[in-house]
Amino acid sequence: MGKTTEKLDRGAQNSFMDLFPYDPYGEQRVFMEDFNNLISGDFKEGLVGLFEAPTGFGKTVAILSAGLCTGHRIVYLSRTHNQMRQVTEEARRINAKGFNFDCVVKGSRLHLCLDEGIRGLGSNQLAVEACFAHVKTAMGEDLLDLVSKGKVSIVGDIAKVKSGERLICDLMGGLRIVDVAPKDVPEVADVETLLEYGKRKKICPYFLARALFLERKVAIGSYQYLFLGELGTKEEMLILDEAHNMENVLKGALSRTITSRILERALEETRLGTGVSSHKLEERLLRLQRFLEEVKPEGGKSSQIYDKRAMLEIFGDFGITEGFMVEFVGSWLEIVDLHADIMKAQGRVFPLEHLRINTVHSFLESFLEDPPEKYVACIEVEEGRKKLSWICLEPSIGFNLILEQKPHCTLLTSGTLSPLEGTAKRLGIGEESVLKSYDTIIREENVQVIALKRGPNDVELTTKYDRRYEPEIVREYGETILEISLRVPNGVLVFTPSYRYQEHLLKIWRQEGIFQKIDKNSTVFIERGLTKKVLLETYKKIAKKDKAILFAVCRGTLSEGADFPDEAARAVIMVGVPYASLIDPKITAQREYYERKEKRMGSQWYSDDAIQTVNQSLGRAWRHKDDYAMGFLLDSRYYWPSNRNRITEWIKRRLLYVSKNMPFSTILRVVETFFER
């Protein structure tokens, strides 16, 4: 459980208010009380909470304060290192009140290797292999020799010593590889602290973080650890932050894909083998390769969905029977031998998981064993290359695997989990789960969202598929955005449903002269025009001092993975309702799956997904308690009761639905008044 002192031993005797390092707002206090109840035993163990609280709310420090005062260990998982850094910063603020809770960030080698060259490789797979190249014994025997002699085994991306040997890294004059952490590691061990400590003490920070992860009071890491068997969450609190994408994370973790390129690389691997079994593996791969070269989606489509029975029939046409697959899956020992042959032939050590033939093996194993009613196969053609996927449609399978680890309680939290009931239902969370949505701590006068049915020329605004390309509607969107942007200072974000529709809008606006008017008023940026980093840096730099407008796409990198505080987004404009395209057979398959499971569940998921995307995109603008911005929902379908009810609560309470009798000039005056105030 990590280091303890007298004060830490009395952790459960302290209230969350003793730990909370700020003056709490009312909503923060309620959040901590609710989370404390989830943990403390007022409910039975193993419960799940879905807590929705807006960005800028202070969720992280509220979770830590309420959790640590109970004495339980916290496993805190998030998506990015910036979010993980926020956890350590709040832990430091709590400790500054006289506590000494210890925590650690478990990062990859790309963040925790002391060698800048390895950190700069950009691929974790390359970083793992570069790491292994530097691992030796204190006597100088390299890792390949140790593996060949059976003294070390490679388990995942870790070298496990079977004998009494101690491993070192030969970088920087020699670094110790530890599996037990020294006692003097700083209480709050974030990435920067681990790098500094490792350099000073001549210890590998990556392996040090692994050792600390199972010991410290707060263990911080990435979602990727959910299915690696390395969490140790039994009887502990599991926090899943930024959990609005959890359904997709869970389905993605249980889906499998093979491509033409993967099969080509797998065949190259078998040709490095020395035994008869390598030739058998090669023959099987050649059959799979012929299948993928010749199979085509029906009717000249770019992709096609099949259930397992239909996929087996197609496989059968190429001699790929269930018996063939069983033989391939049963050849695991041959693949293990092939792995040893390749390492010896290439003179390097790498995890078996990096073999492409392992990817093929995993695909066939899943295809044989996964429940067929909860999966579909998909054949796709991308730029001339084929791809075959086995896609999980049921997120509750993955969530149940998490709950089987027996955490004391599990909390999913995000600024956008609404509608909470739909999210809980699809994750398979029972009726005893705790669903909560909290109001923003941003002052009410700093948030204004307006829904518009019509633009300045009284033309209906909609991106319905059968109407979105009507010239009058396209022009009306352009004129509406122009009029709004003229009255908004600094940065404006404009989200469109897709790249294709964005390109069409911009093309027509240029032809009509609307784009030129927008460009004259504001510096225009387009998401596809530059790399994300350069785009954001340049846009934010200009928006800080002048008017700028950024056209982005819902579900793109900017709608979820970027923050736009203060001048970077004084307004967010949603063009249409971003329903996922039903032309995509994977979307249709998901909707039909839920509909088979329960009547109307498919249509509910389809609408939930669209409005959750809206909630997430709008939330880019309000990033702290003093921030202010306006939001605009430009589509008549936002007036539908079903969509109104799905808008997250804190936005819904500040949402103005413009009546048909209100002149557009009055709306523009509302905008002007907001920013004058």
Element (H, E) at 370: none
Structure tokens that stand for 254 in this block? 């249980």
Beta bridge partners of 422: none
Indicate if 228 and 303 belong to the same structural domain.
no
The strand pair at 74-78 and 237-240 is best described as: parallel
Separation between Cα atoms, residue 462 and residue 452, nearest integer Å = 10
What is the distance between the alpha carbons of residues 462 and 469, in angstroms, rounded to a whole number?
A: 10
CB 512 within 8 A of CB 478: yes
Residue with tokens 């669903």: 435
- Non-local (6+) Cβ contacts of 481 within 8 A are 494, 518, 549, 573, 575
Closest CA to 407 of 143, 65, 11, 76: 76
Cα–Cα distance list, 323 to 289, 296, 329, 330 (Å): 18, 23, 10, 10
- Distance, in Å, from the CA atom of 240 to the CA atom of 399, rounded to the nearest integer, reads 11
CB 48 within 8 A of CB 123: no
Residue whose C-alpha is closest to residue 57's, from 79, 84, 32, 34: 32
Domain check: are 358 and 503 in the same one? no
Handedness of CA 461, 668, 611, 535 (dihedral sign): positive
Tokens of 150: 């059976």
User: Which H or E run includes 340?
Assistant: helix 332-346
Radius of gyration of the chain (CA): 27
Asked if residue 584 is part of any domain, the answer here is: yes
CA angle 547, 553, 555 (to 5 degrees): 135
For the record, the structure tokens of 216 come out as 């410290």
Residue ranges of E strands in 170-298: 175-176, 188-189, 218-222, 237-240, 256-259
pLDDT at 669: 97
Whether residue 278 sits in one domain with residue 243: no
Kindly state whether residue 178 falls inside one of the protein's structural domains.
Answer: no
Is 174 inside a domain boundary?
Answer: no
Could you tell me if 427 and 474 lie in one domain? Answer: no
Same domain? For 456 and 427 the reply is no
Q: Note whether 49 and 35 are within 8 A (CB).
A: yes
In a domain, 148, yes or no: no
**Where among 384, 407, 437 does a domain terminate?**
437
Specify the pLDDT at position 232: 67
Predicted confidence at residue 8, as pLDDT, reads 42
> CA 228 to CA 564: how far, in whole Å?
34
Residue 269 contacts residue 342 (beta carbons within 8 Å): yes
Residue given tokens 């009761």 in the structure block:
641
The answer to whether 389 and 378 are in contact (CB under 8 A) is yes
Q: How far is CA 588 from CA 174, 304, 422, 581, 602, in A?
A: 55, 11, 18, 8, 9
Euclidean distance between CA atoms 154 and 132, whole angstroms: 10
DSSP letter assigned to residue 409: E
442: left (phi over 0), alpha (psi -120 to 50) or beta: beta
Q: What is the dihedral of CA 398, 399, 403, 407, to 10 degrees?
A: 110
Please identify, among 331, 350, 369, the residue that sits at the C-terminal boundary of a domain.
369
Mark whether 352 and 411 lie in a shared domain. Answer: no
| pLDDT in the model for residue 590 | 98
Domain match, 262 and 242 both: no
Same domain, 274 and 234: no
For residue 318, give both structure tokens: 């190429």
Residue 136 in any domain: the answer is no
3-state secondary structure of 407: coil
Q: Is the dihedral of CA 283, 284, 285, 291 positive or negative?
A: positive
What pLDDT does 21 receive? 96
Q: 458 and 409 in one domain?
A: no
Residues 234 and 326 in one domain: no
**Tokens 């992860």 identify what position?**
213
Q: Does residue 110 form part of some domain?
A: no
Structure tokens at 381: 């053609």
The alpha carbon of residue 328 and the mean position of all alpha carbons in its chain are separated, in whole angstroms, by 33
CA distance 132 to 134: 5
Contact 55, 623 (CB under 8 A): yes
- Does the residue 472 lie in any domain? yes
How many domains is the chain partitioned into structurally?
3
Q: What residues form DSSP beta bridges with 436?
A: 51
Distance CA 671, CA 676 (A): 9
**Look-up of token digits 């990727």:** 224
- DSSP secondary structure letters along 207-220: HHHHHHHTTSSEEE
Q: Are residues 326 and 300 in the same domain?
A: yes
DSSP H helices in 41-123 = 59-68, 81-95, 109-112, 116-119
Tell me, what's the pLDDT at 233? Answer: 67
- Spell 202-236 as b/e; 16+ CB within 10 A means b: ebbbbbbbbbbbbbbbbbbbbbebbeeeebebeeb
Chunked in runs of 10, what are the mean pLDDT values of the chain (677 residues)?
Answer: 38 81 94 92 78 92 96 92 92 96 96 96 95 92 91 90 87 94 96 97 97 94 83 83 94 97 97 90 96 90 95 96 97 95 94 97 98 97 91 97 92 92 93 90 93 97 96 98 97 96 97 97 87 90 97 85 89 97 95 97 97 93 92 97 94 93 95 95
From residue 457, give the alpha-carbon distance in Å to each of 41, 105, 271, 473.
Answer: 59, 55, 68, 10
Range of the domain at 302: 256-369
Contact call for residues 622 and 447 (beta carbons, < 8 A): yes
Domain boundary among 387, 405, 437: 437
Please give the biggest Cα pair distance in the chain.
85
- Smallest CA-to-CA distance from 543 within 499, 481, 488, 625 is with 488
Residue 652 belongs to some domain of the structure: yes
How far is the C-alpha of 90 from the C-alpha of 22, rounded, in Å? 10
CATH of the domain at 524: 3.40.50.300
Same structural domain, 420 and 288: no
